[in-house]
Amino acid sequence: MTTPVYKRVLLKLSGEALMGEDQFNRASIEHMVEDVVDAAKLGVEMAIVIGGGNIFRGVAPGAKGMDRATADYMGMLATVINSLALADAMEQAGLTARV
């Protein structure tokens, strides 16, 4: 068995990486989870930070004229949506996940 270089890692996943033909692509999440499962099998502990740019970006043209705080809140909700989707896929793969 391969010995990991690091025992604990922080993994940052962009929301844009979840995009396929639309704003959300389950296959992309499942592919990411496969990699996480492989690392977990080596004994690596992970904290995962995921973005929400696939759903909403506060600086996007669609937010033009919007109150900046409101746009930021919408971006935070998009991050929570992606976090829940990732946690669900991780749980289905047999991992423990918390949002």
Average pLDDT for runs of 10 along the chain of length 99: 89 85 78 94 95 78 80 90 94 96
pLDDT of 46: 95
CA angle, 20 then 26 then 28, to 5°: 60
| Beta strand residue intervals within the chain, DSSP E | 8-13, 45-50
Report the pLDDT value the prediction gives residue 50, as an integer from 0 to 100. Answer: 93
**Which burial class, exposed, middle or buried, applies to 6 when counting CB atoms under 10 A from its CB (0-12, 13-18, 19+)?**
exposed
Q: What is the pLDDT of residue 15?
A: 87
Which pTM was predicted?
0.85
The pLDDT assigned to 59 comes to: 64
pLDDT given for residue 58 in this prediction? 60
pLDDT number for residue 19: 79
Q: What is the pLDDT of residue 42?
A: 94
